[in-house]
Amino acid sequence: MSRNGHTITTTRIHIMALDGIVNVNSLFTLALFLGLSWYPTAPDPTATLVTDTSCDASSSIAEDLIAFHVYSFSSFLFSSLIASAVKQTIKRFDNHKDDDSVGSVRSAPLAHVNLAALRAGTLVSGFGSVFGCGFLMMALMDLVQIKLGVLGCGNLHTFAAVIPLGVGSDKGVKFVRLHYSNESRKSMQPSKYLKIALFVKKWPHRSLAGGLERHALTLHLALAKRGHELHIFTTSPSNSSFPRYPMSNLYFHLSKPTAAGYLDQAFVWKQFQTQNSTGKAFDIVHTESVGLFAYSVTEPDQLSELLRNPDEQQSYALTERITKVVEEVRFFPHYAHHVATSDHAGDILRRIYMIPEERVHVILNGVDEEIFKPDPAKGEAFKQKFGVSKSRSLVIGMAGRLVKDKGHPLMFEALRQMFVENGTFRQNTIVLIAGDGPWGARYRDLGANTLVLGPLEQAQLASFYNAIDIFVNPTLRAQGLDHTLLEAMLSGKSVMSTRVASITGSVIVSTETGYTFSPVVASLKNALYRVWEDGRRVLELKGQASRQRGLQLFTATKMTAAYERLFLCISNDNSKREDYCRYQSPFN
* 319-328 tens-digit pLDDT: 566 666 677 7
Q: What is the pLDDT of residue 35?
A: 65
Average pLDDT of the segment spanning 54-81: 78
What is the Cα–Cα distance from 390 to 199, expressed in whole angstroms?
47
Lowest pLDDT segment from 79-93, 162-176, 222-236: 162-176
pLDDT digits (tens, 9 = 90+) for 263-278: 899 999 999 999 999 9
Q: What is the pLDDT of residue 208?
A: 58
Average pLDDT of the segment spanning 279-300: 69
Task: Report how far apart, in Å, the C-alpha atoms of 410 and of each of 499, 519, 521 are.
Answer: 13, 7, 6
Q: What is the pLDDT of residue 540?
A: 95
pLDDT digits (tens, 9 = 90+) for 393-404: 999 999 998 998
What is the Cα–Cα distance from 588 to 582, expressed in whole angstroms?
14
The backbone torsions φ and ψ at residue 125, rounded to the nearest 5 degrees and listed phi first, read -60, -40
What is the Cα–Cα distance from 364 to 141, expressed in whole angstroms?
34
Q: Between 371 and 314, whose confidence is greater?
A: 371
Find out whether 367 and 561 touch, Cβ atoms under 8 Å.
Answer: no
Find out whether 502 and 470 touch, Cβ atoms under 8 Å.
Answer: no
Find out whether 156 and 48 touch, Cβ atoms under 8 Å.
Answer: no
pLDDT digits (tens, 9 = 90+) for 385-434: 999 998 899 999 999 989 988 999 999 999 999 999 999 999 999 999 99
Find out whether 493 and 465 touch, Cβ atoms under 8 Å.
Answer: yes
Q: What is the pLDDT of residue 171?
A: 47
Rg over alpha carbons for the chain, rounded to the nearest Å, is 32
Average pLDDT of the segment spanning 232-261: 88
Provide CB contacts within 8 A for 28, sequence distance 6+: 72, 76, 132, 133, 136
What is the Cα–Cα distance from 110 to 101, expressed in whole angstroms?
12
What is the Cα–Cα distance from 446 to 462, expressed in whole angstroms?
25
Q: Between 531 and 321, whose confidence is greater?
A: 531
Lowest pLDDT segment from 7-11, 307-311, 442-446: 7-11
What is the Cα–Cα distance from 585 to 571, expressed in whole angstroms?
19
Average pLDDT of the segment spanning 469-475: 95
Residue of 240, 238, 236 lying closest to 202 (CA atoms) = 236
What is the Cα–Cα distance from 571 to 577, expressed in whole angstroms?
12
What is the Cα–Cα distance from 381 to 309, expressed in whole angstroms?
41
Average pLDDT of the segment spanning 331-349: 86
Provide CB contacts within 8 A for 367, sequence distance 6+: 218, 483, 486, 487, 490, 554, 555, 556
Q: What is the pLDDT of residue 106?
A: 39
Residue of 362, 358, 360, 341 lying closest to 349 (CA atoms) = 360
One-character DSSP codes across 315-380: P-HHHHHHHHHHHHHHHGGGSS-EEESSHHHHHHHHHTS---GGGEEE----B-TTTSS--HHHHH
Beta bridge mates, 251 = 231
Provide CB contacts within 8 A for 330, sequence distance 6+: none
Question: How many CB atoms within 10 Å of residue 488?
Answer: 33
Average pLDDT of the segment spanning 274-291: 86
CA 500 to chain centroid:
25
Q: What is the pLDDT of residue 294?
A: 42
Question: How many CB atoms within 10 Å of residue 493?
Answer: 30
Q: What is the pLDDT of residue 321?
A: 60
Find out whether 341 and 365 touch, Cβ atoms under 8 Å.
Answer: yes
The CA-to-CA distance between both ends of the chain, in Å, stands at 55
What is the Cα–Cα distance from 51 to 48, expressed in whole angstroms?
9
Q: Between 116 and 377, whose confidence is greater?
A: 377
Q: What is the pLDDT of residue 137?
A: 80
pLDDT digits (tens, 9 = 90+) for 570-584: 888 766 666 667 655
Lowest pLDDT segment from 153-157, 198-202, 398-402, 486-490: 153-157
Is the predicted pLDDT of residue 511 greater than 80, yes or no?
yes
Q: What is the pLDDT of residue 14?
A: 67
Q: Is 252 helix (H, G, I), strand (E, B) or coil?
A: strand
CA 498 to chain centroid:
25
Is the predicted pLDDT of residue 497 greater than 60, yes or no?
yes
What is the Cα–Cα distance from 366 to 553, expressed in whole angstroms?
8
Lowest pLDDT segment from 325-339, 454-468, 517-531: 325-339
Find out whether 151 and 158 touch, Cβ atoms under 8 Å.
Answer: yes
Residue of 343, 338, 366, 58 lying closest to 217 (CA atoms) = 366
Provide CB contacts within 8 A for 323, sequence distance 6+: none
What is the Cα–Cα distance from 141 to 410, expressed in whole angstroms?
54
Residue 310 burial by CB count (10 A; 0-12/13-18/19+): exposed, middle or buried?
exposed
Q: What is the pLDDT of residue 98?
A: 45
Among 59-63, 233-237, 289-293, the range of highest mean pLDDT: 233-237
pLDDT digits (tens, 9 = 90+) for 103-155: 333 344 444 556 677 777 777 877 788 888 888 788 777 777 777 777 666 66
Q: What is the pLDDT of residue 331?
A: 78
Task: Report how far apart, in Å, the C-alpha atoms of 81 and of each of 92, 125, 512 are.
Answer: 16, 8, 45
What is the DSSP pairing of strand 338-340 with strand 429-434? unpaired
Q: Between 72 and 200, whose confidence is greater?
A: 200
pLDDT digits (tens, 9 = 90+) for 33-65: 676 666 544 445 445 666 556 566 777 777 777
Q: What is the pLDDT of residue 105?
A: 36
What is the Cα–Cα distance from 562 to 568, expressed in whole angstroms?
10
Query: Mean pLDDT over all residues of the chain?
Result: 79
Long-range CB pairs of 177-183, under 8 A, 24+ apart, other chains included: 179/138, 179/141, 179/151, 180/151, 180/152, 181/587, 183/145, 183/150, 183/151, 183/152
Q: What is the pLDDT of residue 434?
A: 95
Task: Report how far apart, in Å, the C-alpha atoms of 330 and of each of 324, 349, 352, 534, 570 are.
Answer: 10, 12, 11, 49, 23
Is the predicted pLDDT of residue 169 greater than 70, yes or no?
no
What is the Cα–Cα distance from 434 to 463, expressed in whole angstroms?
11
